[in-house]
Amino acid sequence: MIYLDHAATTPIAETALRVYSEVSRRYFGNSSSLHDIGSDAETLLEESRRQLATHFNGNPKGVYFTSGGSESNHLAIVSIVHGNASKGKHLITTETEHASVANTFLLLEKEGFQVTKIPVDSTGIIKVEALREALEEDTILVSIGHANSEIGTVQPLKEIGMLLQEHGILFHSDCVQTFGKIPIDVEAIGLDSISISSHKVYGPKGVGACYIAPDVSWYPTIPGSSHENGFRGGTVNVPGNAAFVTAAEQMIEGMSRYEAHFRKLRNKFMDFAKHEDRIVVEGQLAEHLPAIIGFRIKGIEGQYIMLELNRKGFAVSTGSACSVGKQSPSKTMLSLGRSPDEARELVRISFGISTSEKDVEAFVQALKGIVSSMKHAKSV
């Protein structure tokens, strides 16, 4: 089967797997234990923390290892909001956030916080002026994802960061899809907090990290937690974190090379799509992750396309993996102004470093066959 769903997850890299195995054998101690075996594990954990921070220009003291991107988003947002609740009750996010962010804001609304959702244009980009107008005197946090996981649109974080710094408002971003794919510099952008995940960059699943700048106040979601400086409960996954850092380093070292590869693959699909009047490619043409393509075939539900492609040997998705099984149309698509029927047409393909031009050529031929068969069925 040809795998074109790397935005959902990636296969673990051989180097990361070797590191995970070796660390599991040699550094099996609990990093919180006071004996030498525990101290050895803690030393490796702190080195992993330091190395990870260098990849987004953060302070190692602000890196907290977690179980993945969703937990990182939840813990970061809730901890920061509770740690700054005395300053205000107003929060801002967008209509197109990942479910882990959207659901966290629903929880905070139930706690009495006021949440404003900034709309996006037809390509998924927010208007910074609309954000400016939404700011209030008691706004304490803005959370805007770096890139949309369904259509790949990248938000203008640096411009947003400059605006929020002018008003002294904290800025969080879900960077799960962008970490390791495009440069992230929290200092240059003006980010106070980010969330990242291991399995999106060829590391093990169940591993991630949250970064909160050391000068930002936060309050633990579970008071009395002892691990990760009280940020999170549970024994720290030292082997997983070491493997995560190993995988991330490989991705970042090859970032420019991989980006060029993804653009070549994207252009091959786009050359096909522009000649098919029933195919609509969604998202921002200028500012996007080249490895993610969200598209529609007019009049055909995305789930049907996905199942037909699966039958032909291609793994694709109909949107974010965290929303699979839900009957409602894509929230992102509705936010772009698409009708519910159009939103259900969404199909997402996402490339990985092992995806070849032949893979995309074969995919295009399979898609042509499906579109042709549908045209024939309607004409009969």
CATH of the domain at 356: 3.90.1150.10
Answer whether residue 277 shows pLDDT above 80. yes
The yes-or-no answer on residue 322 being catalytic is yes
Is 159 inside a domain boundary? yes
Residue ranges of E strands in the chain: 2-3, 63-66, 90-94, 114-118, 139-143, 170-174, 193-197, 208-212, 279-282, 292-297, 314-315, 346-350
Answer whether residue 326 shows pLDDT above 60. no
Who wins on pLDDT, 125 or 325? 125
What are the tens digits of pLDDT across the range 94-119? 999 999 999 999 999 999 999 999 99
Instruction: Judge if 245 and 359 occupy the same domain.
Output: no
Instruction: Judge if 98 and 218 occupy the same domain.
Output: yes
- Both tokens assigned to 161: 């960061």
Instruction: Judge if 196 and 308 occupy the same domain.
Output: no
Q: Which of 80, 52, 57 is nearest to 170 (CA)?
A: 80
Assess contact for 44 and 242: CB atoms under 8 A: yes
- Both tokens assigned to 75: 């813990």
Predicted confidence band at 319 (pLDDT cuts at 50, 70, 90)? Answer: low
Answer whether residue 84 shows pLDDT above 80. yes
Lowest mean pLDDT among 86-95, 206-215, 278-287: 278-287
CATH of the domain at 208: 3.40.640.10
Q: Tell me the CA distances in angstroms from 46 to 60, 63, 193, one per residue in order.
A: 8, 10, 19
Q: Which of 150, 191, 160 is nearest to 174 (CA)?
A: 191
Domain count, the chain: 2
- Of these residues, 315, 322, 364, 370, which one is catalytic? 322
Who wins on pLDDT, 51 or 236? 51
Is 297 inside a domain boundary? yes
Domain of 286?
A: 2-7+255-371
Predicted confidence band at 380 (pLDDT cuts at 50, 70, 90)? Answer: very low
Helices 69-83, 99-110: inter-axial angle, 10-degree rounding: 30
pLDDT at position 201 is 98
What are the tens digits of pLDDT across the range 179-207? 999 999 999 999 999 999 999 999 999 99
Is 380 inside a domain boundary? no
pLDDT at position 321 is 52
Instruction: Classify 202 as helix, strand or coil.
Output: coil
- Both tokens assigned to 144: 């805007």
> pTM of the entire structure?
0.94
Predicted confidence band at 379 (pLDDT cuts at 50, 70, 90)? Answer: very low
Q: What is the mean pLDDT of the chain?
A: 93
Exposure on the CB side of residue 137, measured as CA atoms within 13 A? 0
Q: Which of 99, 8, 100, 72 is nearest to 291 (CA)?
A: 8
Quick count: other Cβ atoms within 10 Å of Cβ 288? 22
Is 18 inside a domain boundary? yes
